Amino acid sequence: MDFEFSDAEQAFAREVEAFLDEHATPDVADVCRENMAQIVDTPPRRAFVKKLAAKRWIGMTWPKQYGGQEQEGVYEYILNEALARRGAPQIGKGAGIIGKTLIRHGSEKLKREFLPQIIDGDIEFAVGYSEPQAGSDAANMQLKAEKVDGGWTLNGQKIWTTSAHFADWYWLGARTNPDAPKHDGISLFLIPMDHPGLEVQAMPTIGDEITNQVFFNDVFVADEYMVGEEGRGFRYISEALDLERFTMFTFAPTEQKLGELVEYVREAKRDDRPLREDPFARRKIARLTTEAEVARVLGLRFVAAARSVGDRPPTVEASEYKLYATHLSQRVANAMVDLAGAGGQLRVHTEGAPMRGRPDMSYRYSVLDTIGGGSSEIQKNIIARRKLGLPKNF
């Protein structure tokens, strides 16, 4: 398998870097913000996304009939990794999860309404799958959708909905048939976030990000805002989660943090001796550097696998990459705290803190990465069943 980029791909990477040199200003890009840099929660970040859209880089892999350029996924990979490396807003949920699912399964009305807004950078989405009793087991969601004249009335609760406090539209699953098997009774909907009866309550996280719980009180959704067929929502969600596991858990931030750790070890002293001479530090850096190369190649393998399976993302490769990369991020964060010593407890951007205070932030945030997009236990089950052929209960 050839992991080298072609001349055209390398030229695109250089073009992206030149764009970021000009536009990734401090009010937009911050590498210390960890992996939620795709959060477009301020006017400058929204303006930045509009600049990406003007370059026709949002939705570049989409069919031309929907405004895309039918580029191979490797170009989207190069773009997203470059954005993540700078801590800038990434292409995120709109172009990846929502747009690609609508292209495959959405009605013509939904395509006409949402695809142009996504590709022009005019709209932001929140994704609602998790509920208090349906976290990793998304098929257990109980948000009730009852059929009424012309649509559905939704009552219940979602939780862990990142972006709900600033998004324009809500992409969510709800149970439309309580009598069907749990995987078959879920449908997918689109709802404006300012809809009457929708209440958003902020939930600060250990990683200094805001997630939310969302309450539904007789929220009406017209039939035309159901995505695809009734009862097939879980299948669409599963496809979208494969995209999320790859596009929203980029490798570049981990690589960048590891580089900062290496530089710190190279220059720091412990008990008046260079830290780089400490055997523990040397072993730790060597092991993490090797593991980082494994994560990088797993990401490239996902891109290569996606080329061979058409427009449906490769499930196993997505799970393998997400599982390995997010746990590597934790190991890098742990090493940053260990090697920084007492100074590793200082908050990010604290003057004089080792590595700009990133050890503390990374240590707290990396816990979230192993949960979002499907927990590590879910990824292991997917790999066990779909790649190794193990039975569901073993």
Q: Are 175 and 140 in contact (CB under 8 A)?
A: no
What is the pLDDT at residue 309? 47
What is the pLDDT at residue 250? 84
* Tokens representing residue 158 in the block: 């979602």
Give the CA radius of gyration of the chain: 21
- The rounded distance, in Å, linking the Cα atoms of 86 and 177 is 45
- What are residue 188's DSSP bridge partners? 173, 227
- The rounded distance, in Å, linking the Cα atoms of 108 and 129 is 24
Question: Nearest CA to 100 among 252, 205, 237, 267?
Answer: 237
Backbone phi, psi, residue 346, to 5°: -75, 145
Map out the domains of the chain as residue ranges: 7-90, 126-231, 249-386
Question: Nearest CA to 126 among 171, 68, 79, 80?
Answer: 171
* Tokens representing residue 193 in the block: 């976030």
Q: What separation in angstroms does the CA of 108 have from each of 104, 112, 226?
A: 11, 6, 12
10-residue averages of pLDDT along the chain (394 residues): 81 97 94 72 93 95 93 88 90 86 95 97 93 79 96 96 93 94 93 97 87 96 96 87 67 92 95 93 96 91 63 75 91 95 91 93 86 81 88 69
What is the pLDDT at residue 36? 58
**Domain 126-231 in the same topology as domain 7-90:** no
CATH topology of domain 249-386: Butyryl-CoA Dehydrogenase, subunit A; domain 3 (1.20.140)
Helix then strand then coil, in percent of the chain rounded to 5, is 50, 15, 35
* Tokens representing residue 22 in the block: 């000009």
What is the pLDDT at residue 40? 86
What is the pLDDT at residue 66? 95
141 conformational bin, left if phi > 0, alpha if psi -120 to 50, beta if neither? beta
Report the top-level CATH class of 7-90.
mainly alpha
Instruction: Determine the 3-state secondary structure of 125 from DSSP.
Output: strand
- The rounded distance, in Å, linking the Cα atoms of 318 and 325 is 10
Q: Could you tell me how far CA 335 lies from the centroid of its own chain? A: 24
- The rounded distance, in Å, linking the Cα atoms of 120 and 279 is 52
What is the pLDDT at residue 205? 84
Q: What separation in angstroms does the CA of 386 have from each of 378, 379, 389?
A: 12, 10, 6
What is the pLDDT at residue 374? 76
Other Cβ atoms within 10 Å of 73 Cβ, number: 19
- The rounded distance, in Å, linking the Cα atoms of 359 and 369 is 15
Q: Could you tell me how far CA 94 lies from the centroid of its own chain? A: 11
Q: What is the CATH number of domain 126-231?
A: 2.40.110.10
- The rounded distance, in Å, linking the Cα atoms of 314 and 306 is 6
Residue partners of 4: CB distance under 8 A and separation at least 6? none
- The rounded distance, in Å, linking the Cα atoms of 145 and 223 is 11
Q: Are 333 and 206 in contact (CB under 8 A)?
A: no
